[in-house]
Amino acid sequence: MQHSIASDVSAIGRISAVPAILQVIAESTGLRFVAVARVTKSDWTACAVLDLLGFGLEVSDTLEIATTLCNEVRGSREPVIIDHASMDERYCTHHTPRLYKFESYISYPVIRADGSFFGTLCALDPLPAKLSEPHIVAMMASFARLLAIQLEAEEGFQRTEAALLLERKNAELREQFIAVLGHDLRNPLFAIDACAEMLMRKPMDERTERLVKHIVSSNQRASQLVEDVLDFARGRLGDGIPVKLRECPNLADSLRHVVSEIQRIHSERIINANIERLEGFRCDPERIGQLLSNLVANAIAHGAQDGTVEVNIGRNAGGFSISVSNQGEPIPASVLERLFLPYSRPLSDLPRAGLGLGLYIASEVARAHGGNLTVTSSREAGTTFTFHQPLQST
């Protein structure tokens, strides 16, 4: 992952432990200039500074990397420790101690969790100091590791915060999308329906009446498709299909009405409905009716055309359930696994109406009620969809 120098400086600045680390190093070593530096192949940049010398460097100030010993640390990823530069065989003629006028110096590499080199934890002083003592070496190594850990945690927090901010923006866009979709698609359909209703009130010949009725039925199908798309958008792009839970003393009557409406449309099919009394449950009756309608319509569309659709609705020990069964070819196991996904439908050479969202929407309605929707399918028993709403979720 690429990091800008400015973001790295900011990240170190947000780590609350850094000032204390610099203070402890100064007090433990006697060195009066301590810093955390971001080191690249070209620059040394101060991320945090404790300057008791008046050295003159402040946060975000930079040095040319070739003038510093941190360039060696970057290359070797090993610490540089100098107790007394003018007496040190290696560094007595080195340009860096002379340039910055120090005798004692220590610098430890700070390595990110991903193994990349961040920079150094370094300190210096014009006076000699015994920095090669084991406890000093161990302290600097520990603080360098702690900085790397804290840096990773801070950057992780920033990534999470940025992701949350993006998600909030996306949520707002999703809500706007759903609202615009509903407005822009519903309004013309309402207009078509209103015009068709006005035409129905006027005298017309048989052919015109057939055309107007066709407009009305087509508009109803289009309206249902729009509702399915909106429910899909709410379920997939929002926080799930919204429900309004309330006491439903007439739930059984509402569900009988749903079945009778479907029976009226499909008068050639046999639908046996056994619906018990369902007082005492809290639910969204419109949404439960939608779930039942989708399941029965699915059974009629995909079941044997000469078979019976069985609807059983009633109480059980843990709540209440709705089951819809049909005869016909069993659904393959590979299809069952995907049946509640959007746009999923059984394989068939025959054209099918709709978008393939019915079972997905039914499963989302079940989930919104704290329940679940399951399916079993076999050649002997046929296909049965079962919705269960637990009593404790109401």
DSSP 287-341: HHHHHHHHHHHHHHHHS-TTSEEEEEEEEETTEEEEEEEE-SSPPPHHHHTTTTS
The verdict on 81 and 226 lying in the same domain is no
Number of domains in the chain: 3
Q: What is the pLDDT of residue 394?
A: 41
User: Which residue is listed with tokens 């107790």?
Assistant: 83
Of 129, 160, 191, the last residue of a domain is 160
Q: What is the pLDDT of residue 207?
A: 84
pLDDT tens, the chain, 394 aa long: 556 888 889 889 988 889 999 999 999 999 999 999 999 999 999 999 999 999 999 999 999 999 999 989 999 999 999 999 999 999 999 999 999 999 999 999 999 888 899 999 999 999 999 999 999 999 999 999 999 988 888 877 777 777 788 777 776 666 666 666 666 666 677 777 778 778 878 888 888 878 877 787 777 667 666 776 676 666 665 567 778 888 888 899 999 988 988 888 888 999 999 999 887 788 988 889 989 988 998 999 889 999 999 999 998 877 899 999 999 999 888 888 888 887 665 545 444 445 577 888 899 899 889 999 999 999 888 999 999 988 754 4
The verdict on 30 and 135 lying in the same domain is yes
Q: What is the pLDDT of residue 279?
A: 79
The verdict on 223 and 102 lying in the same domain is no
Q: What is the pLDDT of residue 350?
A: 45
Q: What is the pLDDT of residue 177?
A: 66
Q: What is the pLDDT of residue 95?
A: 94
Q: What is the pLDDT of residue 349?
A: 44
Q: How many Å separate Cα 39 from the centre of its chain?
A: 35
Per the structure block, which two tokens stand in for 333?
């196991």
Of 131, 160, 189, the last residue of a domain is 160
Go through the chain and tell me how many residues it has. 394
Q: What is the pLDDT of residue 262?
A: 87
Q: What is the pLDDT of residue 126?
A: 96
Q: What is the pLDDT of residue 333?
A: 87
Task: Classify 270 as helix, strand or coil.
Answer: strand
CB atoms within 10 A of CB 120: 28
For residue 374, the enclosing domain spans 246-393
Of 160, 195, 213, the last residue of a domain is 160
The verdict on 178 and 281 lying in the same domain is no
The verdict on 279 and 207 lying in the same domain is no
The verdict on 147 and 225 lying in the same domain is no
H helix or E strand, kind and range, residue 35 = strand 33-39
Per the structure block, which two tokens stand in for 82?
């100098």
Largest CA distance in the chain: 115
Q: What is the pLDDT of residue 357?
A: 78
Q: How many whole angstroms separate alpha carbon 119 and alpha carbon 41?
A: 10
The verdict on 135 and 228 lying in the same domain is no
Instruction: Indicate the pTM of the whole model.
Output: 0.48
Q: How many whole angstroms separate alpha carbon 321 and alpha carbon 28?
A: 72
Spatial neighbors of 307 by CB under 8 A, at least 6 apart, are 326, 327, 328, 382
Per the structure block, which two tokens stand in for 184?
């822009």
Per the structure block, which two tokens stand in for 32?
């009066």
CATH assignment of the domain containing 23:
3.30.450.40
CATH assignment of the domain containing 186:
1.10.287
The verdict on 187 and 128 lying in the same domain is no
Q: What is the pLDDT of residue 234?
A: 65
The verdict on 284 and 303 lying in the same domain is yes
The verdict on 220 and 254 lying in the same domain is no
CATH assignment of the domain containing 268:
3.30.565.10
Rounded to 5°, the CA angle 311-314-315 comes to 155
Per the structure block, which two tokens stand in for 112?
């990110």
The verdict on 382 and 314 lying in the same domain is yes
CB atoms within 10 A of CB 324: 29
The verdict on 134 and 181 lying in the same domain is no
